Amino acid sequence: MAREFLLPDIGEGLTEAEIVRWLVPVGGRVEADQPVVEVETDKAVVEIPSPYAGTVLRHGGAEGETIRVGSVLVVIGEEGEVEASAPAAPEPEPTHAAPPIVGSLSEEAEVLSPAGQTAAGQGATAVKALPIVRKLARDMGIDLGQVSGTGPEGRITRDDVLAAAPTTTETREPAEEPLPQPETAGSPAPVSGEDERRPLSRLRRTIASNMAKSWAEIPHVTTFDEVDATRLVEIRSALGARHEVKLPMEALVIKAVVPALEAFPEFNATLDGDDLIVHGSYHIGIAVDTPDGLLVAVIRDTGPRAVLDIASEVRRLGDGARDRSLAPDELTGQTFTVSNIGAVGGGQGTPIVPYGTTAILSVGRAQEKVVVSNGDLAIAPVMPLSLSYDHRVIDGAQGRRFMALVIENLEEPALFLAG
């Protein structure tokens, strides 16, 4: 008996998802709990397992198509079975239909094979590439089998696909011999390139929507400061040497921030209408720069965690965010956010408060500067800080007190590591 599997809500408030890649073709055998399709939600690329065992009778959408939650994702039945309510076959296209998509406009181009016709163990699994990279290659008509990967273990990256795209001169027919032009004074005017319209990716659309909503609804205030990071750098180096691990700066900053969140709970809260929901746990979001855009991964319950445990989570979530392999619940639910723009060479900035929270701390790159220490001049690593907060909830004086406590902790890590 044919059974329909509807697209479930796999994240908070998910309404739709884009089909990235079918893992089992129509007519293929699937076991219960076996991944049958990869879909991209607003932030994550996830595999969805089949709840039934049997033969795939119909896909609920083509690769690249967006379907809504509650719509038919896949129909599974017995081998040779015909779906009773299968949609009627489309009318044949007229003979003057548009030509098929090809990988190049040269005379030696080959027609791309339709999706889902690769044999098991071939095609999609013959090359190493993330689903989002495979989609980009399909959109650009590029055969990943002909692309050399420069990523880890030969994985094909977004840049590899873009580099493999045919250039403008390769896709045009040879021009006729130009007519001689009269000589004019000065250099000829440069030829302007053609404008290109690029549709935003699903992730970029989500980022744009969230940023616009935060900026439109939250009255931002940003306070700036600097911290003498001498002791922080020493402690980071000592812990790394003792435990033979590179300690992410985010781990120490998070441990320094938690006591400040305990002292000033309005910074660990959500404004809901006329009520302020003060959260009892500290779920710290960390901003991760990925090839596809900024993602915020969430470290749960940081209060009681040791700094090495937090450091391990920072590394794991960072790798998962860049690979787009994190689950939806690992990308939502932060109560406060730390953004280490120093990792990409940044200094001070004006970070935007993530919607649903009241504050975000941005940490810049420490640079050596002249400081006054015990009445004498000295050279020390100075780290810039930028704290943005919701002025509806937090006043300027409270923002300064919060920042002062964070600075005190960062300048003497023993104050928070002893807790």
For the segment 268-326, what is each residue's pLDDT rounded down to a tens digit? 999 999 999 999 999 999 999 888 888 899 999 999 999 999 999 999 999 998 888 88
With CA atoms as reference, report the closest residue to 296 among 327, 321, 272: 321
Do 135 and 12 share a structural domain?
Answer: no
- CA-to-CA separations, 136 to 47, 59, 101, 187, 397, in angstroms, rounded: 18, 21, 14, 39, 49
Do 360 and 241 share a structural domain?
Answer: yes
> Looking at the domain assignment, is residue 98 inside a domain?
no
- Provide the domain limits for residue 301: 204-417
Give the strands of the sheet with 35-40, arranged side by side.
Answer: 45-49, 35-40, 16-22, 66-68
* Burial environment of residue 272 by CB neighbours within 10 A (0 to 12, 13 to 18, 19 or more): exposed
Do 384 and 320 share a structural domain?
Answer: yes
Do 373 and 294 share a structural domain?
Answer: yes
Question: For the domain that residue 163 is a member of, what is the CATH number?
Answer: 4.10.320.10
Q: pTM for this structure?
A: 0.64
Q: Are 356 and 336 in contact (CB under 8 A)?
A: no
- Catalytic site residue 220? no
DSSP per-residue letters across 94-130: PTTPPPPPBS-SSTT--BPPPTT-SPTTSGGGTS-B-
Question: For the domain that residue 67 is a member of, what is the CATH number?
Answer: 2.40.50.100
Q: Tell me the two tokens of residue 15.
A: 């309404």
Q: How many domains does the chain have?
A: 3
Enumerate the β-bridge partners of residue 226. Answer: 384
| pLDDT tens by residue, 191-245 | 678 888 888 887 888 888 888 999 999 999 999 999 999 999 999 999 999 998 8
3-state secondary structure string across 345-360: CCCCCCCCCCCCCCEE
Do 208 and 166 share a structural domain?
Answer: no
Count of other CB atoms within 10 angstroms of residue 54 = 19
Catalytic residue among 59, 220, 283, 391: 391
| pLDDT tens by residue, 36-63 | 998 887 777 888 888 888 899 899 998 8
Give the span between the Cα atoms of 40 and 42, in whole angstroms: 7
Do 142 and 59 share a structural domain?
Answer: no
